């Protein structure tokens, strides 16, 4: 029986090496491409009709749009609108990567820490640059709360600094951990089904419920990832 970790292995599909650096096109790359192509297809087919009374595909595209638009309006504010394309892309990519991972034999892109960390690092660097561009050196006040006595800076500044630097870590680890744990659990329970023979019907029933839960988590985590990006963006624009 396959080990529960085997599903996370990366295999090169098209080996490419440039100057000693391994740039192979792997199964991970393949599923990223699938996520991008599929989301582009779904959205462009969805908005092609532009009907006043939308059909299913158009409703789907409009719903996704509205979710992100509302999220930005509630969490960033009016001036967050210009960042809509970035946040929408982020949300759609994570959402599709998570959901595609639920298909059997598919590779879950977001179950690799380096993938989620890269996404989080892009957000972190972009937000930090934005903060400095907006407020200049005044952005450093992020690390010192208003009205605190000056001598407390010795403690508060390192604490705030560490908590600021921990953002990309917590953002990426949360998504990675959720996806990895879910998929390992599914595989382990599925192993019981085979091992128990006829009595395997009980773990099978549990597996059905678990799959539903995993689908819910896949959507929820894409949502959480995006909403936290919005909150960080808000902090950079308005400084608490």
Partner 1 sequence: MSDNEPDGDGSLERLGRRLDAVRSRRKRGERTPEEAANREGMAVGLRIAVELSAAIVVGTAIGYGLDRWLGTRPWLMLVFILIGATAGFLQVYRTAQELDRRQKERRAEAAKQQRPR
* Contact residues: partner 1, CB under 8 A: 52-53, 155, 158-160, 162-163, 165-166, 169-170, 173-174, 177-178, 216-217, 220-221, 224, 231
- What counts of helices (H) and strands (E) characterise the chain? 6, 4
Distance CA 206, CA 29 (A): 32
**CB of 226 vs partner 1, minimal distance in Å:** 14
Task: Give the H or E element holding residue 133.
Answer: helix 113-135
- Give residues with Cβ within 8 angstroms of 169, minimum separation 6: 117, 120
Query: Which residues on adjacent β-strands are paired with residue 75?
Result: none
Residue listed under structure tokens 């500044």: 157
Task: Give the H or E element holding residue 18.
Answer: strand 17-18
**CB of 153 vs partner 1, minimal distance in Å:** 13
**CB of 192 vs partner 1, minimal distance in Å:** 22
**CB of 202 vs partner 1, minimal distance in Å:** 22
Structure tokens at 110: 């977001």
**Residue 10 or 162 having the CB closest to partner 1:** 162
**Residue 44 or 170 having the CB closest to partner 1:** 170
Residue listed under structure tokens 């019907």: 201
**CB of 163 vs partner 1, minimal distance in Å:** 4
**Residue 22 or 74 having the CB closest to partner 1:** 74
Structure tokens at 9: 């292995």
**Residue 32 or 228 having the CB closest to partner 1:** 228
**Residue 31 or 225 having the CB closest to partner 1:** 225
């Amino acid at each position: 029986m396959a080990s529960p970790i085997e599903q996370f292995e990366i295999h090169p599909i098209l080996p490419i090496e440039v100057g000693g650096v391994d740039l192979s096109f792997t199964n991970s790359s393949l599923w990223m491409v699938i996520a991008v192509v599929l989301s582009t297809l779904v959205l462009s087919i969805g908005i092609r009709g532009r009907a006043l009374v939308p059909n299913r595909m158009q409703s789907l595209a409009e719903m996704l749009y509205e979710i992100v638009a509302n999220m930005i309006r509630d969490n960033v504010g009016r001036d967050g609108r210009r960042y809509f394309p970035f946040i929408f892309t982020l949300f759609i990519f994570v959402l599709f990567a998570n959901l595609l991972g639920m298909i059997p034999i598919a590779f879950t892109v977001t179950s690799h820490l380096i993938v989620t960390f890269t996404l989080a690092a892009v957000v972190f660097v972009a937000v930090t640059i934005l903060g400095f561009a907006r407020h200049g050196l005044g952005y450093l006040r992020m690390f010192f709360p208003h009205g605190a006595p000056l001598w407390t800076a010795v403690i508060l500044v390192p604490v705030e600094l560490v908590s600021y630097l921990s953002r990309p870590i917590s953002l990426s680890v949360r998504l990675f951990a959720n996806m990895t744990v879910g998929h390992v659990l599914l595989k382990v329970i599925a192993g019981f089904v085979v091992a128990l023979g006829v009595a395997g019907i009980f773990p099978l029933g549990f597996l059905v419920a678990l799959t539903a839960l995993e689908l819910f988590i896949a959507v929820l985590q894409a949502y959480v990832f995006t909403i936290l990006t919005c909150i960080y963006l808000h902090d950079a624009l308005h400084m608490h």
